[in-house]
Structure 1
């Protein structure tokens, strides 16, 4: 079985690359999918539908276009990894975690200890909490190979 792993969350560090490299090194049977991680193109996803004077409606249109991708990728995932960085509030990642939980798709949260409290509900629904990408790799190794 090839496991599909949905990588959600902050876009300012190399956590995705570290997980992907670690899994490739171990030759784990995983494929990775994620939302659009290019901030500018994500914000502009709905711009081709017409210019908006009010930034709310620009964001609204782009979030709906982005949701076409996100919903399908989450629904096809076997497991999710949801990364919360300390520098920015990743509301979209919290939404992804909630959607994964609603679909009963197991997910791992990845964040530092200093934001445990604000993420208590998100962590409570997670199957594991990791602080480093390499810990996620070890979890993926176990669930895909049983060792």
Structure 2
């Protein structure tokens, strides 16, 4: 059973690669997708492709719409959506993705540290699992695929 997993959220750490490496080491049958994680490309894709905008609002608007094409596809095709909230920035886009995943009835795993427990209580309530580490995500995916516990 190939699991299709969409990895959403912060782009400033290697958490995605940690999950990919862990699943590879475990020999899991998982296909991953993700948003564009090159921050500059993600911000500027709209104006780079469709033309410059004098107003920053419309610059961002064009980019957000192009990024939404990829995000919607990833969320719709996913069996499981993992959303990571990092410590450094407020990830409004990650919260939006978590909400979309919940609305689509996707199995949602939320990952964040203890400092976000209160601000993300509604997001956590929609999740089927709330974890702190990429290794815990790998263990969940192992359990879902094989029905075996870690260790």
* Per-residue Cα deviation, 1:89-110 (whole angstroms, up to 9, x for no partner): 0110000000000000011000
Match of 1:104 in 2: 105
Q: Structure 2 stretches of 5 or more lacking a match?
A: none
1:18 CA displacement: 0.7
For 1:53 and 1:111, the matched residues in 2 are separated by 37
For 1:88 and 1:59, the matched residues in 2 are separated by 18
Q: Size of the alignment, in residue pairs? A: 147
Displaced runs of 4 or more, over 2 A: none
For 2:92 and 2:125, the matched residues in 1 are separated by 17
Q: So what's the TM-score if we normalise by structure 2?
A: 0.96
Q: So what's the TM-score if we normalise by structure 1?
A: 0.98
For 1:79 and 1:49, the matched residues in 2 are separated by 32
The 5 A counterparts of 1:48-63 are 48-63=49-64
For 1:44 and 1:54, the matched residues in 2 are separated by 13
Match of 1:91 in 2: 92
* Per-residue Cα deviation, 1:51-71 (whole angstroms, up to 9, x for no partner): 111100000011001101110
The 5 A counterparts of 1:1-147 are 1-47=1-47, 48-147=49-148
RMSD: 0.6
